[in-house]
Amino acid sequence: MTHPESFWVGMLGLSMAGVGMLLWLIVIGILSFTAYRFLPLRRSRSTFWLGMTVLVPLACAGMPFFPSYAMQALAVIEMHGWDAYSEGLRVINKHGQLSDGSYISVFWAAAMGGGAFVLSGFCMIPLTTWCMHYHPGRKPHHGVLPAGVVHLDGAPVPGAEITFYIVVGDGSALPAGSRLNGGGKLRGYARIDADDAGRYECFALPPRTFRVTVTGVGVPPKYGDAGQTPLVFVWDFLGPVVQDLNLESRITNSTTSANTL
């Protein structure tokens, strides 16, 4: 048996599905255009695939089952109350018929179809977000895109680890040696590894002032301390920038600040 108001259920369900799909596309668009704000501290292939092994099964299990059961339960609870649901009142078919022989309202019958479709799409958002923000091959076009070569006394440093720090807060939670003179604490924003030729490339940093630390074979420890590193760069615009990191075996206590080249 079909719902007594099957025509209106179908029309309203399609409308709900269309609005939900539009909202889903808006959310995905926002995530795409703000990707640089969620750049993880380390983007490694093992981390990416570890996340995929968790999120893919969850998405596959959630899409066909969770939305339908969730909307059915919500419809019963909203119309008849929690007591009726706890006593066993359930939706028994896709047309909105209840176990007591009655039907749910037109709105909730439509929501069971259109709403479940929408929730199925939203079940994919965590997986989609993970792919967009954590995939090691991601090259977004928004934000600051620094690239260059790490040199130590003029020679490339293969495999150097580079971390970009931004300043947040007032620095009260940092150890004394890591606090900035003007206040604020340092937060690691992105960490990458240089290749065998010492070349690095980082994607989608926000336009901010960055302190940069470098660790690697032969690199003086001071370059690896976020509170003392002399590598400070002011990048206040979007786009690519060539910035070599020139390290010296003997460095002074002064902190040098440089703009984009």
Note the pLDDT tens digit of each residue in 31-61.
666 655 554 544 566 777 888 888 888 777 7
CATH of 144-259, one of 2.60.40.10, 1.10.580.10, 3.40.50.720, 1.10.10.10: 2.60.40.10
Note the pLDDT tens digit of each residue in 139-168.
555 678 899 999 999 999 999 999 999 876
147, 243 Cβ separation under 8 angstroms: yes
pLDDT of residue 177 exceeding 60, the answer is no
**pLDDT at 247 (0 to 100):** 92
Put simply, whether the predicted model's pTM sits higher than 0.85 gets the answer no
- Domain locations in the chain? 6-134, 144-259
**pLDDT at 1 (0 to 100):** 59
